[in-house]
Amino acid sequence: MEAAVRMTRPAEPEMPQHRSLDPAFAIAPAHLWLRPLALLSGEAARAARAENRALPLAGGTSAFVMVELLGRLASGEVVAALGSLAELRQWAERRGGATAARVASQLEHLTAPRAPWAGFALDRPLIMGIVNTTPDSFSDGGEFLAPERAIAHGRALAVAGADILDVGGESTRPGATPVAPEEELRRVEPVVRALAGAGLVVSIDTRRARIMVAALAAGARIINDVSGLAGDPESLAVAARSGAAIALMHMQGEPATMQANPTYSLASLDVVEYLEARVAACAAAGIARSRLVVDPGIGFGKHAAHNLEIMARLGLMHALGCGVLLGISRKSLIAELHKAEPKERIPGSLAGALQALAQGVQVLRVHDVAETRQAIATWRAVADGA
């Protein structure tokens, strides 16, 4: 019994020392980022906004009163400062020029309502249910390898409350080896076709342009790419032509080796800068920002301390002006904190999901749909009544 509840404490990441938000504080504008802090909900948010002390987070009902200003010096050192919105505006006005323009742009991205994505208004949390048609996924490998079982599982997740069904035919767990494209296609195509044919919203979880094309032809409406449309030279063009909604994820390295030695200056900042570059690459290919959500990629080339720091700063992702997707369901981060097998990690998965919702995340990718739906309903009722 003692071993079953043994807790571990991941090593602390290097954290920037917060400085004063005064005229001497300077960051190159291109490397300046704002993270919303002091988040409010319910009546507190409405009152603070009426008094002009707070701004809405991503156009939703939550509001933020303070910001953390993050960035890099020319040396590469990560620096940070904390301040109220009034202090931020005063600082930006004193700095002027490109700095003031960057702050204004960041505040616009943080506050603007998100456009509908994949046909869904992002004014409530969406649940993306996981349908793995693989023999080796970390949690349910082999359970839904047969197409008829995967189809039945997808239908059950939809009944339980999944808005989207994310079908994948290649495991990207740490240490996984690539699957031949022909095998990946054999696994996913009949499942996508059946679920989409039943009128369900299907996402294809793949890094390959060939699989994207086939899945979209079979009825998929979303491309969910763990490589951020960078894993296949044809992916950007395929995504642009398709008109599909897209989830761009951050991954450092490849699944087979990504956990060997991941390194970051500050994980959340490195991730948001990578995703900014991918959003820009999409724009250059003709993909509008409104078609995108971004995913920081918990567990993909990140140790536990990196994952926890990213989770603490999830609000930073809103500065990209896109919806935010998070997948923490049953992941090894939970076992790092409380030893448990994948299917025993539902409480930790829900805790991570609620922490993400409190920071404005709009899409949750999960195994346990019914449990997540109940948790969201309770969280929303409490938050709205505060």
Task: Kindly give the pairing relationship between strand 63-72 and strand 78-84.
Answer: antiparallel
- What is the structure's pLDDT at 4? 34
- Which of 158, 188, 320 has its CA nearest to residue 250? 320
Query: What is the homologous superfamily of the domain 126-385 according to CATH?
Result: Dihydropteroate synthase-like (3.20.20.20)
* Cα separation, 59 vs 385, whole angstroms: 18
- What is the structure's pLDDT at 138? 57
Write out the chain's pLDDT in tens, 386 residues. 223 334 444 555 567 878 878 878 888 899 999 999 999 999 999 999 999 999 999 999 999 999 999 998 888 889 999 999 999 999 999 999 999 999 999 999 999 999 999 999 999 999 999 999 987 555 555 677 789 999 999 999 999 999 999 999 998 877 777 889 999 999 999 999 999 999 999 999 999 999 999 999 999 999 999 999 999 999 999 999 999 999 999 999 788 778 888 899 999 999 999 999 999 999 999 999 999 999 999 999 999 999 999 999 999 999 999 999 999 999 889 988 888 888 889 999 999 999 999 999 999 999 999 999 999 999 999 988 75
* Cα separation, 158 vs 165, whole angstroms: 7
Give DSSP secondary structure letters for 292-361. Answer: EEEE--TTSS--HHHHHHHHHTGGGGGGGSSEEEE--TT-HHHHHHS---GGG-HHHHHHHHHHHHHTT-
- Which of 95, 102, 221, 365 is labelled catalytic? 365
Task: Kindly give the pairing relationship between strand 55-56 and strand 33-40.
Answer: unpaired
* Cα separation, 114 vs 330, whole angstroms: 28
Tokens in use for 360? 């404005």
- Which of 247, 261, 268 has its CA nearest to residue 203? 247
Tokens in use for 213? 């094309």
Is residue 302 part of the annotated active site? The answer reads no
* Cα separation, 269 vs 337, whole angstroms: 23
**What phi-psi label fits residue 160: left (phi over 0), alpha (psi between -120 and 50 degrees) or beta?**
alpha
Q: What is the pTM of this model?
A: 0.92
Longest dimension (CA), the chain: 64
- What is the structure's pLDDT at 11? 54
**Residue indicated by tokens 């504080």:** 25
Is residue 331 part of the annotated active site? The answer reads yes
- What is the structure's pLDDT at 348? 95
- What is the structure's pLDDT at 139? 57
- Which of 67, 79, 68 has its CA nearest to residue 26? 79
- Map out the domains of the chain as residue ranges: 18-111, 126-385
- Which of 331, 339, 373, 380 is labelled catalytic? 331
3-state helix, strand, coil in the chain (%, to 5): 45, 20, 40
